[in-house]
Amino acid sequence: MKKTLALALVLLLIFAISSLPVMAIGNAISISINGATVVFPDAQPFVDGNNRIQVPVRIIAEALGKTVSWFEDTRTVCISVGKGAGGDSIFFVIGSNQMRKNADIITMDTEAVLKDGRTFIPIRYFAESLNFMVEWDGAANSVNLINASASCATNDNILWAKNLKVNDVSRIEAVRMPAMENERYKDFDKTDFARIVEIINNAKGKRINNPEEIVGSCITFYITTTDGTRHTFSNNGNTYLVLDGVSFDAGYDWLDTWAYEALNGKVPENFEF
């Protein structure tokens, strides 16, 4: 009888451990917004007893450009979205499984909590109330919030650029326009990949749906990844960053003079622009 009971307890313990997400077993959880990592200086995200990720409300709200107010008498946190009478307000009450967006009540399967003197809220409910998509990467213990109101092309391009790794790349070429015939092209050596990938990882900017025609220099990287896909990463007239044909208002600070000086060859006759 005792052996049977002991075996049952062991099996129960194994089941309980295996039911926890990998992130709960000592690994830090990272949060990013449209690919940009959010820095938590002290209080860190964690997984609660309901298997939901909780985040410090002030840090995540301010990273999204929202204003946070705390009402001690009702133990309520209010996140203000927008300004004036037309703005939205989102409320969480400590210990309650209900959140409120304006007059709409949303029932959650967890609750807001106080931990180490900080207010934590379940990130999925909060993000989705702001029309963000929530993506979980179990291998990296990371959550990425993607602005669902932006086009998929915008999100995909920026995320691709920010997440590109040297090991993902099989070839990098670049062409500068205008330039002397023998100073326009380079097929980069693998020793240069890390420097170029670092430049690409710094991609940023606001999408421009109808960019103006820009007169000036332009340098375009042609990045072939290990899966055979060929991407373009271009600086258009030191004004726009263009990722696979999508323009962003990014200026030129993402591109240093090294990239220009490196181009010292003639474009191959069979090169595909």
Q: Could you state, in order of their start, the residue ranges of all structural domains in the chain?
A: 18-147, 153-261
> How many other β-carbons are positioned within 10 Å of the β-carbon of residue 118?
17
Contact 90, 129 (CB under 8 A): yes
User: At 226, phi and psi to the nearest 5?
Assistant: -65, -20
pTM exceeds 0.85:
no
Architecture of the 18-147 domain: 2-Layer Sandwich (3.30)
CATH tag, 153-261? 2.60.40
Per-residue pLDDT of the chain (273 residues; tens, 9 = 90+): 545 555 554 444 444 433 334 444 457 899 988 778 899 989 999 999 999 999 999 999 998 888 999 999 999 999 998 655 557 899 999 999 999 999 999 999 999 999 989 999 999 999 999 888 888 888 888 998 887 554 444 556 777 888 899 999 999 999 888 778 888 899 999 999 998 998 888 777 777 765 666 555 678 899 999 999 999 988 766 567 888 887 777 655 555 555 666 788 899 988 887
pLDDT of residue 257: 53
With vertex at residue 113, the alpha carbon angle to CA 95 and CA 48, rounded to the nearest 5 degrees, is: 110
pLDDT at 23: 42
Q: What is the pLDDT of residue 95?
A: 97
DSSP the chain: -HHHHHHHHHHHHHHHHHHS-GGGTT---EEEETTEEPP-SSS--EE-TTS-EEEEHHHHHHHTT-EEEEETTTTEEEEEESSSTT-EEEEEEBT-SEEEETTEEEE-SS-BEEETTEEEEEHHHHHHHTTEEEEEETTTTEEEEEETTS-HHHHHHHHHHHH--GGGEEEEEEEEES--GGGSEEE--GGGHHHHHHHHHT---EEESSPPP--S-EEEEEEEETTS-EEEEEEETTTEEEETTEEEE--STTS-HHHHHT--BPPPTT---
